[in-house]
Every structure is written in structure tokens, then in C-alpha cells.
């Protein structure tokens, strides 16, 4: 399994913050936004990444993330010159995908709680797997309707009269049919290749699995100024309460054994004195205690 991080778009809903910096590089509490989806995917065991962004923003992502080897992963970079839809990412990354299955995650989606994604990726055998999350304002999202047995019946993009309160968050798992399907769909009225049309094609082929996320799970979409502030407040509250860090790729890579303890210590040594470094030193101390 490989992964695409889609961090393009204009970020117009966050203007003027995004007039000089990609929204996925802005801070959510104490870390760049892109750290959160990256950490989720590392925690799910993925090591090969393609980050897609605008030509203007890719140098900043390279500066922040480099080639990923510091976390025991690899990161390639590809350009999306202008917003032409989420599904275009599979066409852009066709060579990267090759003959593999692929997970795509949006760079402004933040998840916390449970092991839904690692289990879904580990159990993936083909077709498509997407997720459903209960929201109060489903008209803002792609919405999935279920039949009485819990199977997906229909999917609509931002419907005026939603058939359920289950929105589809920004993480999708597909088999290798995805490139062919993405190439076969037509642009929508707004000129974009819609991810909903991809999911509808898998549904038509009876190859779509939809997993419902529980009420104890948190999905934050940090695409507006208000949502960005709310996400930062949520992350701060959890971190202060539990004494953990959400969205820490170093820790996720260490837990996944992508990094050894000595690798992690070497990374920490290169960091300036800060709360982030202090936290990772605690991770190292706990690792030594647990190993006796």
C-alpha cells in the first residue's frame, strides 16, 4: 500500500492566511497541518508517499518534510497546477501508484481516536474502502445513504436535501483500478474530477465498502478560519489532558519500527530546545524504562 497526500488548492476559505502560505503548512496548535494526516498514515504502516501540491508550494513542503528518510519513509512530490478535483490526483500520480493499491488522504483533514484506518488498510483486499462519519451539517460534504442492512445505497455530493447525516471524510482506499476509473469520469459542472464520481463507479461495480466511524472518533476539517481555530483548541485540550502529542510523525515512525531508538535520539539531537523536543525526550525515556 502506498499513499497520496493531497495538499493543493487555493485555500480561498482561509484568506488572507493563504495568500502567502499553503493552508496545509499553517499551524494546527503546535504543528503544521500536514503533520496530522502524515502521522495517521505512518501509524497505519505506510512508508511510500506522494505529496501533490501547487508548483508554488512544493518547495516549502520539501523544506519541511524533505524526502522523508528522517522518519524511515520516502516522499515524492508532484504538481497539480490548478485545482481540477481530488480524483485528478490518481492521474497525476499514475507512475507513482504503479501496480499497487493506494490510500489518498486530504491534507486538511485531522483524525483522532481508535485504530480504524490501520485495520482498514491491513484488511483491504480490493475494490474501494471509504468511511462515514455522523455530522450535523451533511449538506457541506459527500453524503452516503445506507440501506437497512447497513450497505451503501447511494452517494451524493453536497446535496441540498441529504438522505442521511453520514458524511464521507477525506481518506479513501482504492485498488489498482483507480487510475482507469479516474481517467474514465467526466468533469463536473465546476470543471473538476469529483471523488464522489469515483466512489459511485465502485458502488456500481459492487466493489465499495463503507465503514462507519464511531461517535467517540474525532474528524476535524480545518478548511476555514473558524474550523482551524477549533481544531487547534481541540488538539491543545487533548494534548494537555493526556500528556501525548497528536500528529507527531517521529513517534509514529518509532512505534512502527521505521525508526530505531538510536535513530529517534539522533533526530532529537538535531532539534532546537522546544516543547516538541521535550516531548520526544519523554518518549525516549519511556522506551528505555519499558525495555528495563
3-17, 210-224, 236-250: segment of lowest average pLDDT: 3-17
Q: What pLDDT, in 10s, does the model give residues 82-120? A: 889 999 999 999 999 999 999 999 999 999 988 899 999
What's the rounded mean pLDDT across residues 258-274? Answer: 96
Q: What pLDDT, in 10s, does the model give residues 155-192? A: 999 999 999 999 999 999 999 999 999 999 999 988 89
pLDDT for residue 292: 62
Taking alpha carbons only, the member of 137, 129, 131 closest to residue 164 is 137
Residues 58 and 79 sit within 8 Å (Cβ to Cβ): yes
Instruction: Fill in the DSSP letter of residue 179.
Output: H
- The phi and psi torsions of 52 (rounded to 5 degrees) equal -110, 125
What's the rounded mean pLDDT across residues 218-222? Answer: 88
Q: How far apart are the first and last CA of the chain?
A: 35
Q: Which three cell numbers stand for residue 189?
A: 459542472
pLDDT for residue 19: 80
Helices (H), 178-220: 178-184, 195-204
Does residue 9 register a pLDDT over 80?
A: no
Counting residues of the chain whose pLDDT is more than 90, the rounded percentage is 84
Does residue 17 register a pLDDT over 80?
A: no
The answer for residues whose C-beta is within 8 angstroms of residue 239's C-beta and 6 or more apart is 29, 30, 245, 246
pLDDT for residue 222: 82
pLDDT for residue 124: 96
Does residue 11 register a pLDDT over 80?
A: no
Residues 174 and 87 sit within 8 Å (Cβ to Cβ): no
Residues 146 and 122 sit within 8 Å (Cβ to Cβ): no
pLDDT for residue 130: 97
Does residue 291 register a pLDDT over 80?
A: no
- The phi and psi torsions of 137 (rounded to 5 degrees) equal -125, 65
CA distance 173 to 138: 21
pLDDT for residue 123: 95
Q: Look up the pTM and report it.
A: 0.95
Going through 107-163 in order, the beta strands assigned E by DSSP cover 109-112, 128-134, 142-146, 152-157
Report how far apart, in Å, the C-alpha atoms of 278 and of each of 40, 54, 243, 274, 284 are. 22, 34, 12, 6, 10
Does residue 243 register a pLDDT over 70?
A: yes
pLDDT for residue 35: 98
Q: What pLDDT, in 10s, does the model give residues 37-73? A: 999 999 999 999 999 999 999 999 999 999 999 999 9
What's the rounded mean pLDDT across residues 242-269? Answer: 97
Amino acid at each position: 500500500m502506498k499513499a497520496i497526500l493531497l495538499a493543493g488548492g487555493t485555500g480561498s476559505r482561509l484568506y488572507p492566511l493563504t495568500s502567502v502560505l499553503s493552508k496545509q503548512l499553517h499551524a494546527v496548535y503546535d504543528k503544521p497541518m500536514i503533520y496530522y494526516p502524515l502521522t495517521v498514515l505512518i501509524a497505519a504502516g505506510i512508508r511510500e508517499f506522494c505529496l501533490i501540491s501547487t508548483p508554488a508550494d512544493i518547495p516549502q513542503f520539501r523544506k519541511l518534510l524533505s524526502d522523508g528518510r528522517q522518519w524511515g519513509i520516502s516522499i515524492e512530490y508532484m504538481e497539480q497546477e490548478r485545482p481540477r478535483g481530488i480524483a485528478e490526483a490518481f492521474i497525476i500520480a499514475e507512475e507513482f501508484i504503479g501496480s499497487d493499491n493506494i490510500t489518498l488522504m486530504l491534507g486538511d483533514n485531522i483524525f483522532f481516536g481508535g485504530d480504524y484506518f490501520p485495520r482498514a488498510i491491513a484488511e483491504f483486499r480490493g475494490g474501494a474502502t471509504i468511511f462515514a462519519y455522523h455530522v450535523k451539517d451533511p449538506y457541506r460534504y459527500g453524503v452516503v445513504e445506507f440501506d437497512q442492512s447497513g450497505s451503501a445505497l447511494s452517494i451524493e455530493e453536497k446535496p441540498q436535501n441529504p438522505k442521511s447525516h453520514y458524511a464521507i471524510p477525506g481518506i479513501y482506499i482504492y485498488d489498482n483500478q483507480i487510475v482507469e476509473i479516474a481517467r474514465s469520469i467526466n468533469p463536473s459542472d465546476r470543471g473538476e474530477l469529483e471523488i464522489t464520481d469515483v466512489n459511485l463507479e465502485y458502488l456500481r461495480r459492487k466493489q465499495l465498502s463503507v465503514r462507519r466511524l464511531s461517535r467517540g472518533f474525532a474528524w476535524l476539517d480545518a478548511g476555514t478560519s473558524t474550523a482551524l481555530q477549533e481544531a487547534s483548541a481541540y488538539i491543545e485540550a487533548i494534548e494537555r489532558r493526556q500528556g501525548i502529542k497528536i500528529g507527531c510523525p517521529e513517534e509514529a515512525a518509532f512505534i512502527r519500527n521505521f525508526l530505531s531508538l538510536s535513530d529517534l535520539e539522533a533526530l532529537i539531537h538535531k532539534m532546537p530546545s522546544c516543547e516538541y523536543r521535550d516531548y520526544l525526550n519523554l518518549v525516549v525515556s519511556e522506551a528505555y524504562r519499558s525495555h528495563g
